Structure 1
Amino acid sequence: MPPRGKPQEFQITVRNQEHLYELISGKKLSIVDLYLAWCGPCELLTSSFRSIAMKIDEWDSRMQFLLADTERVPDFANHQVSCKPRFLFFLGPKLIGEVDGADVPKILQMINRYLPPLEAD
């Protein structure tokens, strides 16, 4: 099936708390990679996320990958206490799960469990 329209950028950097809530307000599964600016963003899983996304039909209409600096999004400050990767999963604005560490099988399990179905045309 040919792609529909232009896909979104692969990862979106969250500018601030308001931007985050704007991004997660829809029906997509949002995977938020939390990081600390002084520690640098975790690049470890970017290639894994890209590989996962490319295997999902119309991934860009069903899910999104967000990068959030906990210093810019105060609501996340209690979720990130070290440089260890931490991923929050939102379905719309609702927090539905967390994965602590670079646990790709667990992240994939969460995606498979919560990924919205394809919309009928």
Structure 2
Amino acid sequence: MNNAARTESFQEIIRGDKPVLVDFYADWCGPCKMQAPTLKQLADRMGDKLRILKIDIDRSRAAAQQYQIQSVPTLILFKEGKIIWRQSGVQPLHRLEAMVKPHAG
């Protein structure tokens, strides 16, 4: 993440015109660790057409509450501030690509 991204708030990021995939995770979560390499592959394939954010539910309890995160990992795809897709559990690369590509210009 570059310095400019660090100064943006979460709300500013998800309201942008670029799709944002948010991974709500926890360090203690085994399935979350399994999901991480898939998200890296997705980032490599999508390049700058997609932003991926990881939010630790233990460090960002307010965000976890706001989006009613009940289990981790939970992935939420935002575009222009709206939730386009949401799923809990480990997701395969082909499913993530299928969800993201129609929204990535």
Percent identity of equivalent pairs? 20
Query: Whole-Å Cα distance in 2 between the matches of residues 73 and 87 of structure 1?
Result: 16
Amino acid at match of 2:53: L
SS in 1 for 2:12: helix
The answer to whether residue 86 in structure 2 is matched with residue 98 in structure 1 is yes
> Aligned to 2:24, which of 34, 37, 43?
34
Q: What pairs up with 1:42-53 in 2 under 5 angstroms?
A: 42-53=32-43
Task: Identify, as 1 or 2, the structure richer in helix.
Answer: 2
Query: Of the two, which has the highest radius of gyration?
Result: 1
Return the match for 1:107 from 56, 80, 96.
96
RMSD: 2.8
Change over 3 Å in CA distance of 1:21–1:109 after alignment to 2: same
The whole-number CA distance in structure 2 between the counterparts of 1:88 and 1:110 is 10
Amino acid at match of 1:30: V
Whether the 8 Å CA contact 1:29–1:114 is kept in 2: the answer is yes
1:87 partnered with 2:75: yes
TM-score, with length taken from structure 1: 0.63
- Unmatched tracts of structure 1, length 5 or more: 1-7
Shift of 1:96: 1.1
Tell me how many residue pairs correspond in the alignment: 98
How far off its partner does 1:88 sit? 0.4
Scaled by the length of structure 2, the TM-score of the pair is: 0.71
